[in-house]
Amino acid sequence: MNITFYCSRRVYSYCVLRLMYHKNINRYMPSSGGSMRQYQCNFVHMQSSTKETKKLSAVSLLPTKLKEFVEESMQICRPSNVHVCDGSEVENALLIDKLLKAGTVVPLPKYKNCFLARSSIKDVARVESRTFICTKNRRDAVNIPKGTTKGIMGNWMSLEDANEAIKTRFDGCMEDRTMYVIPFSMGPLNSPYSKIGVQLTDSAYVVCSMRIMTRMGTDVLEKLSSNEENCYFVKALHSVGKPISGLVEHSHWPCDPERTLILHKPEYDEIISYGSGYGGNSLLGKKCFALRIGSTIARREGWLAEHMLILGVTDPKGRKRYIVAAFPSACGKTNMAMMKPSLPGYKIECVGDDIVWMKFDTNGQLRAINPEFGFFGVAPGTSQATNPVAMDTIFENTIFTNVAQTSDGGVYWEGMEDPAQGVTINDWLGNSWVKGSKTPAAHPNSRFCTPANQCPIIDENWDSPEGVPIDAILFGGRRPEGVPLVYESFDWKHGVFIGASMKSEATAAAEHTGKIIMHDPFAMRPFFGYNFGNYLKHWLSMENIPNAKLPKIYHVNWFRKDENGKFMWPGYGENSRVLDWILRRINEEPNTANITPIGYTPTKETFNTFGLKVDFDKLFSVPKHFWTEEAKEVANFLYEQLDEDLPKEIEEQIKNLIDRLNFSK
Ligand code: TSX
Ligand code: MN
């Protein structure tokens, strides 16, 4: 047989080794020529392959389990080409070129290697109502609420319904187009905390974004094939669902919003996403894998996958601690992850801004990694004033989506410093826009997708395989009333109850314009991969890990308002004062806490307000009437949502809180 072997330079060593192993060949002729020509050879030319010359494609060289996944999906989706991604610069350039030609992205010549994508107006956000956890038994996926109460902690679909829905959507969905095979690692490739995934997608935008958000390419393939017997990876299948008819209003952003569906099969470690090219719906390593599937794997294996930032904080004496923090949306999580501390001598470094995977090591120390490789941040509100560090990160090698564009080839969004005189603006839909318009310039959910290692304060250990040691867990919320700036839980169980009780002010759905306080336990409400009652039991079970040093748990609220509706706390860099107090607590400094019915609050002497005009007593007050109502409301929420799934330890916490309030003055 005449074997022609082609491959690109970076896949080269991998392919050559595989070829020699499989075909018992000890000599080979490497392909010559320019990089683009090499690349074409990484494609499987299914139609052009002849009987005489078998073109050994990258697919045929994949480890068996992965090859089976790719070939099964090829049979269903019927792409005309398959491209196994190597993650190289050359490959990225080729894909960007393709996106430019299709009009999916436009260049931003004001910056180095930055691009702007404009999505379809029907495809601008995650779609929670179309996101499902699919298991054999409903109760494994979601908690069962009391009576006719509607569960708000995720949706369940049967495996039968899921498979039917997949069949009707994926059959031939990639006809005449390319299927990309994206091998990616969540976490450093050589870390025991990391997991590998493979996403199949028909979107080049997704490939380029996954290259920023995950560690992607040949190294991952090599890792997978280094251990054929133990070739484990999470399977993620994605199609934008370009309707065969081709009738789409935004032909440069194919999608199928009427039939969009995001499915998770935690019993099979599979993700299937159809119809959307946007963020959390299509970059499957992030919310789908690192949180939903991740949380189910974490439960099985005894660790935690959480919706939290990770930061390192060094005090003036040079003592460094790491903390994690969970915040619902619109609390400025990315701002906090990159905060510039106002207190002299303090240093903050960023490990991650969205997701943490953490586990108690054999010494009982909680250790954490950021499974991601980039930041997929909300653009509006990001500015030199609110997040100067992000502004120093995002103007190179970044893909922006749905932000406004300036006539000098830059970007613009609400909250950003005004562009120079004479520079005009086109909004996210491409229409000309002036300040004062009724519609926003950038879509409120517009994003930057940027490499984490470009962050000027990225922590030296941010991609260390051992992770970083965690000393405190923060929960937070946007609470205009009643909730003090910071308080500490009495113990671990009480801390878990505080996480379960999290609430935050959010802009309500279209009909109401007012703001309402929504429950968002652990900031995980849209991201639980399994029954929230079992999730609480899993958190509670950390107390039973032999020699586990349980970190202290805090609740913070930067958003308390006075009777005139003014924020009582300046926030931003001044939040370093809250971290300063937390570090004093961790260091067991004496006389740092007052006991209140809801937890420990700072003493006036040990909370540094030097140079600030704040009303300490008002900022830290625990109003009895407010908290009595709050306790009843939270109790009601947990009883109704969880019913039989509510752990008795949490029921006890509710009773203890009500008792402490009753006995307080
Ligand atoms: O991100 C925020 N943080 C955390 C920063 C590390 N924001 C923005 C939230 C929207 C995403 C905040 N907004 C914070 C905050 O700590 N605090 C506030 C509220 C606030 C807004 C403006 C002022 C004060 C507080 N202005 C003056 O005091 C002048
Ligand atoms: Mn998030």
The per-residue pLDDT for range 413-446, each reduced to its tens digit, is 999 999 999 999 999 999 999 999 999 999 999 9
Q: Whose CA is nearest to atom 7 of ligand 1?
A: 332
Please indicate whether residue 567, judged by its CB atom, sits closer than 6 Å to ligand 1.
yes
Closest CA to 456 of 400, 375, 362: 375
E strands in 490-563: 503-507, 515-519, 552-556
DSSP assignments along 71-139, one per residue: HHHHHHH--SEEEE----HHHHHHHHHHHHHHTSEEE-TTSBS-EEE---TT-SS--GGGEEEE-SSHH
pLDDT (0 to 100) of residue 664: 95
- Pocket flag, ligand 1, residue 339 (CB < 6 Å): yes
What does R_g of the chain's alpha carbons equal in angstroms?
Answer: 26
Question: Does the annotation count 331 as an active-site position?
Answer: yes
Token pair listed for 663: 């006995």
Tens of pLDDT, residue by residue over 256-273, are: 999 999 999 999 999 999
Rounded CA-CA distance 404/447 in Å is 11
Q: Tell me what pLDDT residue 230 has.
A: 86
Q: Is the CB of 575 under 6 A from ligand 1?
A: yes
Mean pLDDT of the chain: 92
Ligand 1 closest atom vs CA 567:
25
DSSP-derived letter for residue 613 is -
Give the percent of the chain with pLDDT over 90.
Answer: 87
Return the amino acid letter for 99.
Answer: L
Contact 218, 12 (CB under 8 A): no
Buried b (16+ CB within 10 A) or exposed e, 345-378: ebebbbbbbbbbbbbbbeeebbbbbbbbbbbbbb
Q: Tell me if 558 sits within 8 A of 332, measured CB to CB.
A: yes
Reported as a pLDDT band with limits 50, 70 and 90, residue 243 is low
Q: Which residues are 555's β-sheet partners?
A: 475, 487
- Flag whether pLDDT at 294 surpasses 60: yes
| pLDDT (mean) for 86-115 | 96
Centre of ligand 2 to C-alpha 124, Å, is 15
Question: Which atom of ligand 1 lies closest to the CA of 339?
Answer: 6
State in Å: Cα 562 to ligand 1 middle.
15
From 114, 331, 449, 455, the catalytic residue: 331
What is the pLDDT confidence band of residue 245, given thresholds at 50, 70 and 90? low
Mutate to test the pocket of ligand 1, among 378, 507, 567, 576 (most ligand atoms within 8 A of CB): 567
Instruction: Encode 325-346 in three state secondary structure.
Output: EECCCCCCHHHHHCCCCCCCCC
CA of 326 to the centre of ligand 2 (A): 9
pLDDT in the model for residue 250: 56
Handedness of CA 607, 613, 616, 618 (dihedral sign): negative
Q: Whose CA is nearest to atom 26 of ligand 1?
A: 570
577-581: average pLDDT: 98
Whether 557 is in the pocket of ligand 1, judged by its Cβ within 6 Å, is: no
pLDDT of 61: 84
> Which pairs count as long-range contacts for 64-70, CB under 8 Å and 24+ apart, including other chains?
64/228, 64/231, 65/228, 65/231, 65/233, 66/181, 66/183, 66/198, 66/221, 66/224, 66/231, 66/233, 69/198, 69/200, 69/235, 70/179, 70/181, 70/200
What whole-number distance in Å separates Cα of residue 204 and Cα of residue 242?
A: 13
Q: Smallest Cα–Cα separation from 520: which of 540, 544, 504?
A: 504
Let me know how long the chain is.
665
Which tokens in the block code for residue 101? 């030609």
Strands 366-369 and 468-469: antiparallel
Q: Which of 537, 401, 482 is nearest to 106 (CA)?
A: 401
Residue nearest to atom 25 of ligand 1 (CA): 570
Q: Would you say residue 44 has pLDDT above 60?
A: no
Ligand 1 mutation target, pool 414, 557, 558, most atoms within 8 A of CB: 558
Among candidates 197, 194, 172, 193, which has minimal Cα distance to 182? Answer: 197
Where does the pLDDT of residue 247 fall: very low under 50, low under 70, confident under 90, or very high at 90 and above? low
- Indicate whether residue 382 lines ligand 1 (CB < 6 A): no
Q: Is the CB of 332 under 6 A from ligand 1?
A: yes
330 lines ligand 1 (CB under 6 A): yes
The response to whether residue 573 sits with its C-beta less than 6 Å from ligand 1 reads no
What is d(CA 209, CA 87) in angstroms, rounded to the nearest whole number? 11
* Separation of CA 334 and ligand 2 centre (Å): 9
Residue type present at position 150? K
